[in-house]
Chain A
């Protein structure tokens, strides 16, 4: 057994508490709930997928970050983890999967190939998934170590925790989706 202490008291969000009640902002509570239960859709295409399998396995264990249930159905997933090279043949399918996800949805692009095409600067590889879908967190590496993937998920958790509940209907977000031609 290791000597590290496991912290079981996560800090409470800002608020005012008294005997039997805690008053805080709705967005904080919603953010906390969302951040600690991000169900991923592992869109694993190549080598980064094997590092994700290592992340899912017992040594690195992504389940302790709330990603207990891998959802392979996009309609039931919160975050899309695109791991591996996306070829141009695969791009429409990735787009379809992203469009089927329900809001709120986040995208992490894991690995150099998903972020920018990686070492495959060729005619058949899409040079980065942000050409077709909006990406929230980029995790570089070829392949990234499981600790890096977990770091990416933790950065996403920070984003999720601090996101405003009105973001998905804001004009900036609508503009972002429109720039990708996503309805």
Chain B
């Protein structure tokens, strides 16, 4: 059907000419985006409307295409972490750790237990931060501004913890091959413990504000539903799929970084509508808090990075005195590290679903091909089908609840 290759405006203009309603009214075209207050990030949707109801729609993405996969072919491995940060920038530690784990799989490096537990803690913090944004902004888009202001304060507290660990707030560039660049300071653990005490009552308050709120429920129940079979076919993963009733979670299916040592539940919804997505994300925050508590309680002593001098920079004071350290430092920075010729696919459970890294190496200092399996890109295809026949304001609520992050959508 070459018709579908035309830009949607022209195609819809054609449909409008041919179809007239019984009462004499016509369909109309509405351009939603790319700059729109309710689209979190820039992507466009051209909608064919029958009054307030959506008949059909088509999305255009690529407004923030930054060619990550091409950049990754031109940078040594440790310089790709800043790129991964900027994919799902609301939960960048998860992306970072996923990349390091992919590399460790390719290089056959075993990470010590302490580093694995610390990674779990920071990934769950990132998941909490991501769900804070998604749910509070869903509140904002349906008109409830208060929740956003209160819970965003706790995002600031999470940023303070990130700053203690790695120095940056949002785009963390955290970790190294084999672990972390430095052990976590006592202040980081203190801030973490304070967060674990202060945050649960606030999150409970936020839930109470919206979860049984008559207005919110009316705006989100049966809005943008998707069935489980359709969702699997469309490649949904993460909270959006779990809201449709399928309990697929990469942390349980293919545990990485010692997730099998922790006990947590996977919250699942029923009908895949906006309300279910909201509730699943709420419940996941509680599960993440549980995991962090367990990890802190069982945190083993030990090294915070693997003993791989070929890939992990030696301490700077040794570099000036020790010949081997000097040589390793030079080789790592220049990129002359031994890299096997292999291909590896490693998924992690990102804030939006299965974030996969498909790395193909050819022995050189840069990747030959690095493909990011970006969950947002894959499930956003289903958006137009989810909002068919619904009102425009429902489309806005659906879009908000899907948590489409433009950085991950376009990469």
Contacts and interface: CB of A to CB of B under 8 A. Distances in A.
Asked whether the complex places CB atoms of A and B closer than 8 A, the reply is yes
Main secondary structure of the interface of A (DSSP, over half): loop
Interface in B60-78: 62-67, 70-71
A76 interface: no
B37 A58 contact: no
Interface string B215-250: 000000000000000000000000000000000000
Contacts of B35: 43, 72, 93, 97
Contact of B67 (A53, A70, A124, A145): A124
Contact of A85 (B66, B150, B159, B170): B66
A90 B34 contact: yes
B36 interface: yes
A128 interface: no
Interface stretch (B82-90, B108-116, B303-311): B82-90
A84 B89 CA distance: 12
Interface stretch (A21-29, A44-52, A132-140, A168-176): A44-52
Nearest to A91: B63
B67 A93 contact: no
Contacts of A85: 64, 66
Nearest to B157: A59
Interface residues of A, number: 31
Nearest to A96: B35
A153 to B, nearest CB: 18
B42 A47 contact: no
B170 A47 contact: yes
A30 interface: no
Contacts of A84: 64
B171 A143 contact: yes
Interface stretch (A9-17, A102-110, A115-123): A115-123
A72 B149 contact: no
Nearest to A94: B35
Contacts of A125: 66-67
Contacts of A44: 41
A57 interface: yes
A87 B68 CA distance: 13
Given A46-B407, A143-B170, A93 B82 contact: no
A50 B89 contact: yes
B174 interface: no
Most chain B beta carbons < 10 A, residue from A43, A70, A93: A93
A182 interface: no
Given A50-B89, A93-B34, A87 B62 contact: yes
B64 A45 contact: yes
B153 interface: yes
B42 A90 contact: yes
A51 B243 CA distance: 29
A59 B171 CA distance: 19
Nearest to A61: B149
Nearest to A113: B66
Interface in B374-401: none
A150 B90 CA distance: 21
A145 B159 CA distance: 11
Contacts of A123: 67, 70
B66 A122 contact: yes
B152 interface: yes
A47 B67 contact: no
Given A51-B170, A122-B67, A124-B65, A46 B406 contact: yes
Given A122-B71, A125-B67, A53 B152 contact: yes
Given A43-B35, A45-B406, A57-B152, A51 B169 contact: yes
Contacts of A142: 171
Contacts of B171: 47, 142-143
A96 to B, nearest CB: 9
B156 interface: yes
Interface string A71-95: 0100000000000110101100100
A54 B86 contact: no
Nearest to B70: A122
Given A45-B41, A54-B152, A89-B62, 6 more contacts: A45-B406, A89-B63, A90-B42, A122-B71, A123-B70, A143-B171
10 contacts: A47-B86, A51-B169, A54-B156, A72-B35, A72-B36, A87-B63, A87-B64, A93-B35, A119-B83, A143-B170
Interface of B: 34-37, 41-42, 62-67, 70-71, 82-83, 85-86, 89-90, 133, 148-150, 152-153, 155-156, 159, 169-171, 406-407, 410
Pairs of residues from A and B, 5 with the lowest C-beta to C-beta distance, nearest first? A57-B152, A47-B89, A122-B67, A72-B37, A90-B63
